[in-house]
Amino acid sequence: MNDSLVVFKNVVKLFGEFVAVKEFSLEIKKGEFLAIMGPSGCGKTTTLRMLAGLDQPTSGEICLNGKLMNDVKPSERDTPMVWQTLALFPFLNVIKNVEFGLKMRGFSADERRIKAMTWLKRLEIEEFASRDISQLSGGQRQRVALARALVTEPKILLLDEPLSALDAHLVIRMQSVLTRLQRELDITFVYVTHSQSEAFAMADRVVIMAKGEIEQIGTPREIYRAPANRFIAEFIGRNNIISGSILDKKENLITLQSKAGPFSVSSPEKLSLEVGEKLNLVVSADVITVSEKKPEADNVIECSLIGEEFIGSIVTLFLEAKGGIEFKAQIQQREIQNLDIRSGSQLFLSWPTASGHILPK
């Protein structure tokens, strides 16, 4: 029994000379919440549109449920989509919007009404059934768009940056609505976003794309702790990337010489590294401890504070070490109150050897 629902095989998409997607191969499992993440123009939306049949692959194969989809019209696929702009039909009221897919499939007026109402109830917007779209708030419209896509009970739902226009608190609410729905319905969600927090908060697996290619596939935890390359380490942000060369290597420990000083890091099992080899060390900002007195720890570095970014309970400190190397450290707001912090303060950063991650070349 094959459990993949969607298979992309060497899919290429050209727009004139421009390569939007190149040699894209991916299997999406049944009942999986998959996020495709990447900077704008990386080909993530094009990939989704090809799955919906709105763009044709230049070469390669796309299969859905074991069936080759390349020449199937969008209206004959069962791949409803939630659009970035929502694309609700402005002259139809809420329930007519939701009924649209059922109407196209030839359901009777009564059946349509019953099914649509069930979905409006499920998404807690039944009171707005006869309202005009223009009378709804952003969050309510979002729910209408979801109901409209799900009412035909598809096996897969495509979401193209659906939360990008919402306020921050609504994004968090909609994220929990989406994850709960996906679990209850047990269908596949393919979620395209440029937002790391959305992808990591909801997805079972995340695909990171850049310039039309897959950079890494993995669970959010894997990608966060062990980015596959420098692009990803930079893209997911709040990472310190330290370049240096190997000074010493024994058993499980590597000592790295950098401009900011020597650091030790647990040796990755998969890579065989030689003394003198150049490499990048990734230390995520949230594993760094900040203290005023020099601590007894593995990797200690003295820095001066150059700035701080305060977003609620977490504070990001920007610091500069010897040799002009910049560091970022994230700490809890309540911890920072015990520290004497102002611009130019001398602080000590430290992190355990096991928290560093060596980027494979």
Partner 1 sequence: MTATRTTSLFFKSYICLVFVFVVAPILASFIFSFNSDRFPTIPLGNFTLHWYKTIYHDKDVWDALWISVTSAISVSIIATFIGFCTAYTDYRYNFFGKSAYLALALLPPTIPLVIMGLAMLAWLSHIGMSGRWYSIIIAHVVLCTPFAMAIIRIRLAQLNSSAEAAAWNLGASEWRTMGEIIIPFSLPAIISSLCLTAAVSFDEFAVSWFVSGLNKTIPVIILEVLQGQVDPQINAIGTFVFLTSMTLVVIAQILLMTRHGKGLSHE
For residue 130, what is the DSSP state?
Answer: T
Stretch that binds partner 1, among 20-28, 98-106, 254-262, 326-334 (CB under 8 A): 98-106
Q: Select the residue interacting with partner 1 from 3, 16, 17, 90 (CB under 8 A).
A: 90
Which CB, 135 or 333, lies closer to partner 1? 135
> Does 168 participate in binding partner 1 (rule CB under 8 A)?
no
Report in angstroms how near the CB of residue 303 gets to partner 1 at its nearest.
44
Q: Are 332 and 338 in contact (CB under 8 A)?
A: no
- Show Cβ contacts of residue 124 under 8 Å, excluding neighbours closer than 6 positions: 143
3-state class (DSSP) for residue 296:
coil
Query: Taking CB under 8 A as the criterion, which residues in 53-72 touch partner 1?
Result: 53-54
Stretch that binds partner 1, among 131-139, 241-249, 317-325, 340-348 (CB under 8 A): 131-139
Q: Does an H or E element contain 256, and which?
A: strand 253-258
Stretch that binds partner 1, among 129-137, 173-181, 269-277, 310-318 (CB under 8 A): 129-137
Report in angstroms how near the CB of residue 10 gets to partner 1 at its nearest.
25
| Cα gap 233→228, rounded to integer Å | 8
3-state class (DSSP) for residue 14:
strand
| Cα gap 108→134, rounded to integer Å | 27
Of 293, 273, 297, 270, whose CA–CA distance to 283 is shortest? 297
Looking at the DSSP bridge assignments, the partners of residue 302 are 348
Report in angstroms how near the CB of residue 356 gets to partner 1 at its nearest.
44
> Does 24 participate in binding partner 1 (rule CB under 8 A)?
no
> Does 104 participate in binding partner 1 (rule CB under 8 A)?
yes
Q: Residue 13 carries which side chain, given as an amino acid letter?
A: K
> Does 73 participate in binding partner 1 (rule CB under 8 A)?
yes
Report in angstroms how near the CB of residue 65 gets to partner 1 at its nearest.
16
| Cα gap 166→87, rounded to integer Å | 15
> Does 341 participate in binding partner 1 (rule CB under 8 A)?
no
Q: Are 23 and 12 in contact (CB under 8 A)?
A: yes
> Does 52 participate in binding partner 1 (rule CB under 8 A)?
yes
Of 28, 10, 123, 8, whose CA–CA distance to 69 is shortest? 8
Which CB, 90 or 323, lies closer to partner 1? 90
Read off the tokens for 53. Answer: 């049949």
Which CB, 54 or 273, lies closer to partner 1? 54
Report in angstroms how near the CB of residue 61 gets to partner 1 at its nearest.
21
Report in angstroms how near the CB of residue 33 gets to partner 1 at its nearest.
20
> Does 152 participate in binding partner 1 (rule CB under 8 A)?
yes
Which CB, 14 or 165, lies closer to partner 1? 165
For residue 228, what is the DSSP state?
Answer: S
| Cα gap 138→86, rounded to integer Å | 10
> Does 357 participate in binding partner 1 (rule CB under 8 A)?
no
Which CB, 103 or 259, lies closer to partner 1? 103
> Does 250 participate in binding partner 1 (rule CB under 8 A)?
no
Q: Are 235 and 195 in contact (CB under 8 A)?
A: no
Distances in Å between the Cα of 139 and the Cα atoms of 93, 170, 315 are 16, 7, 29
Residue numbers at the binding site for partner 1 (CB under 8 A): 52-54, 73-76, 78-81, 83, 85-91, 100-101, 103-105, 132-134, 138, 141, 148-149, 152, 165
